[in-house]
């Protein structure tokens, strides 16, 4: 009985440690971007047929995803396997600006996607990807 209690406490602690691992959480959030951006990219490039509703659904998902990773960058969360550069915390204004630009680009992409003008979509998809790249260049180790 006592042993079972010890196991229960140990697994509770383990699950709390898991929940309190912001590096893991933010990586997980970024990983969710990949399939969504990948599918959109294929449609934009014509590798899969463009479908207005499907693209709009993906753009809506991307806009939701773009709200998520930033809560998992608490000060000091640099210990462990992370590619986050210290500039995230030493240049908070630039970091915030990179996030805001990214959110604005994805919101705009969603609007354009709902409109269904493929030329405009291509342009805005490129602009959105540029906000990923710009932030990675400045704030992610390569
Ligand atoms: C405002 C900054 C910023 C923006 C915008 C941004 N990222 Fe990142 N991204 C990061 C940082 C910082 C990391 C490193 C996280 C870590 O290792 O702790 C990262 C990591 C990643 C990873 C690797 C996750 C892993 O498993 O280690 C992927 C994939 C990724 N980003 C994709 C994207 C895509 C796609 C976009 C645009 C749709 C994007 N990111 C936009 C900052 C950003």
Q: What is the pLDDT of residue 20?
A: 77
Q: How do residues 95-128 score in pLDDT, each as one tens digit?
A: 999 999 999 999 999 999 999 999 999 999 999 9
- Report which ligand 1 atom has the smallest distance to the Cα of 83: 17
Q: Closest Cα to atom 21, ligand 1: which residue?
A: 30
pLDDT band at 79 (very low <50, low <70, confident <90, very high): confident
- Report which ligand 1 atom has the smallest distance to the Cα of 139: 12
Buried b (16+ CB within 10 A) or exposed e, 35-70: ebbebbeebbeeeeeeeeeebbebbbbbbebbeebb
pLDDT band at 4 (very low <50, low <70, confident <90, very high): low
Asked whether the beta carbons of 112 and 124 are under 8 A apart, the reply is yes
Q: How do residues 24-51 score in pLDDT, each as one tens digit?
A: 999 999 999 999 999 999 999 999 999 9
């Amino acid at each position: 009985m006592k042993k079972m209690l010890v196991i229960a406490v140990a697994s509770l602690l383990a699950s709390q440690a898991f929940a309190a691992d912001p590096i893991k959480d933010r990586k997980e959030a970024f990983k969710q971007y990949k399939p969504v951006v990948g599918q959109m990219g294929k449609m934009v490039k014509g590798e899969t047929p463009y479908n207005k509703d499907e693209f709009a659904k993906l753009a809506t998902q991307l806009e939701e995803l773009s709200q998520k990773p930033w809560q998992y960058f608490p000060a000091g969360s640099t210990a462990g396997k992370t590619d986050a550069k210290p500039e995230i915390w030493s240049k908070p204004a630039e970091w915030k600006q990179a996030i805001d630009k990214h959110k604005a680009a994805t919101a705009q992409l969603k609007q354009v996607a709902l409109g269904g003008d493929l030329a405009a979509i291509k342009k805005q998809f490129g602009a959105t990807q540029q906000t990923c790249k710009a932030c990675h260049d400045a704030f992610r180790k390569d």
